[in-house]
Amino acid sequence: MNRRAMGGEGEERAVAYLIGRGALILRRNYACRGGEIDVIAEHRGRLLFVEVKSRTGSAYGTGAESVTPAKRARISKAALHYLTREGGFERSMRFDVIEVTPKAIRWIPAAFDYVEPSGGA
């Protein structure tokens, strides 16, 4: 299986996992110039910006470890863009990571904080 197919399958599993835990999926693959968010969801009144990382093993570290400061800034930029267009600045929100492996799914709430993006939204 190529990386794109593995990522797509991992994202499908992550979305099903979130739904199974009571989350409402608002958007998938939200993109703007300079940023992208895999899943935007609402869970228990909180807005979630979720990065999904699929791995076949741990040889290159965990999925959460691969969310670099630069990636966090791109996700933050996309979140700011989403909030500017859709509203929601007054809501509680957080940035989560979901690690997907062939045998398990690990949801990491509040995996990282907002990173002030450079440039405009």
Residue in the structure block whose two tokens are 């929601």: 88
Question: Closest Cα partner for 95 from 115, 109, 74?
Answer: 109
pLDDT of amino acid 2:
45
- Strand 35-43: give its sheet, edge to edge: 24-32, 35-43, 46-54, 93-100, 105-112
| pTM, 2 dp | 0.89
Which residues is 78 bridged to in the sheet? none
Helical ranges in the chain per DSSP H: 3-20, 69-86
Among the CATH numbers 3.20.20.70, 3.30.43.10, 3.40.1350.10, 3.40.50.261, which is that of 3-112? 3.40.1350.10
Question: Taking the domains of the chain in order of start, what are their residue ranges?
Answer: 3-112
* Mean of pLDDT over the chain: 89
pLDDT of amino acid 56:
80
